[in-house]
Amino acid sequence: MTFRQLPPDLVATLRETVSLGVITGAGVSAESGIQTYRGQGGLYDDEAEGDRTVEALSAPTLAADPDRTWGVVAHLARQTIQAKPNPAHQALVAMEATLERFILLTQNVDGLHRLAGTRNMIDIHGDVLETRCSSCAFHGDLSVEDLQALTGTPRCPQCACGLRPHVVLFGEMLPEAKIRRLHEEFYERPPEVVLIAGTSAIFPYIAEPVLLAAQAGHPTIEVNPEPTPLSDRVRWSLRGKAGEIFPQIAAALASRA
């Protein structure tokens, strides 16, 4: 349904909700000026260029030609370091403050949920402004100055080996501890209501918690200006922007009877 205001039955459900699981993707940061991956203007929009970008962001390229991977990572990091949380990020912080239990699973590597103040979250794909050493235990942050000076692969300040971005590249496993938390939060103790937004939901570990909740009869909500494979599976598919719809969801949750 095209979004104008929340449907009354959704408002009634939210007024009784005490636990919420939220899953976000790049669309939630679009209103902060960060490029999405797919769709018009997305990082992979042009097919040939998109394939080259995916290849650059892969484990084999990092091993063979780290400067090429860092070229794309530096582009993403420069967008990110200038961006500020938008009303969607802020509304999620308000939701967490209202509810007895709140968990956010994000695919975004821009750190904007954390910057806004969300606490209980799993950033399953990592953070593009963090680095780690390929050989020693060094883990650090990229500053504006680092990014201005960055050409090629940055060096570890401790051992001078090449640093790698602290993100999951294509062909890499998801971090085990984060997968374990995802299972605990969404499978072992499923939230009452699941909200998914701003994602094309192509990865099974992103779509499955929503499908599981829907199958179990839990209320499920999708927020996206475009239809996705989940649109027909959720109870409420709201066509619109997260920055416009999330504040209304937060207000409905806060009006809990």
For residue 194, the minimal CB distance to ligand OAD (Å) is 16
Q: Which of 16, 49, 51, 226 binds ligand OAD (CB under 6 A)?
A: 226
What span, in angstroms and rounded, lies between the C-alpha atoms of 122 and 47?
30
**Residue 50 touching ligand OAD (CB under 6 A):** no
**Residue 113 touching ligand OAD (CB under 6 A):** no
Run of H or E residues at 124: none
What span, in angstroms and rounded, lies between the C-alpha atoms of 37 and 40?
9
State CA 214 to chain mean position distance: 21
**Residue 112 touching ligand OAD (CB under 6 A):** no
Q: Which of 80, 228, 237, 248 binds ligand OAD (CB under 6 A)?
A: 228
Buried b or exposed e, range 179-211, using 16+ CB within 10 angstroms: eebbeebbeeebbbbbbbbbbbbeeebbbebbb
Question: What is the x/- site pattern for ligand OAD, positions 116-155, by CB under 6 A?
Answer: ---------x------------------------------
23-31, 112-120, 133-141, 152-160 -> range binding ligand OAD (CB under 6 A): 23-31
Active site residue 89: no
Q: Which of 156, 197, 213, 249 binds ligand OAD (CB under 6 A)?
A: 197
CA distances from 6 to 1, 3, 246 (A): 10, 7, 10
**Residue 175 touching ligand OAD (CB under 6 A):** no
Helix/strand/coil (H/E/C) assignment for every residue in 134-169? CCCCCEEECCHHHHHHCCCCCECCCCCCEEEEEECC
Amino acid at 151: T
Catalytic residue selected from 75, 89, 113, 125:
125
Binding site for ligand OAD (CB under 6 A): 25-28, 30-31, 36-39, 42, 107, 125, 168, 197-200, 223-226, 228, 241-243
- The residues assigned a catalytic role are 125
